[in-house]
Structure 1
Amino acid sequence: MQHRSVNDVTTREVVTARPDTPSKEVAGLFHRNDITAIPVVAVHHTLDWIEDDTEQHLEHPRAYRAAT
């Protein structure tokens, strides 16, 4: 088994959303970036919460398809 560091498996280009980002836009971010979670950050770059794609996919299924 090869041991890898956190740096080996993380990305430097983090996709984020703001608390006022429209829900439909967030759904598109999930799909376009092939990710399942997005950090929601405030104006001062503080983490408010992490949004996962479960509810977004159910609420905006067309946004996932339209983003392709």
Structure 2
Amino acid sequence: MIANKESLAIYEYNYLSEKRRVFMLIDSKSFYASVKSVKRGLNPLKSILVMMSEQANTNGGLVLAA
């Protein structure tokens, strides 16, 4: 079935009537690596740091943050 433009307008949602809210998102992996860099006296924007789990827990290690 092909709908015309007028029938599609019925199903459009008006987002202007929604409440305005602010959301904040933190990339936990990058944040953790940045904190570790600062604790080691490194610049978190320029340092290369990889956080790994213990070998015993993952059969070789797992990258937790980079």
| TM above 0.5 | no
TM-score range, shorter chain: under 0.3
Relative contact order, CA 8 A, sep 6+: which one is greater? 1
Question: Given the two structures, how large is their TM-score scaled by the length of structure 1?
Answer: 0.23
Structure with the bigger percentage of strand = 1
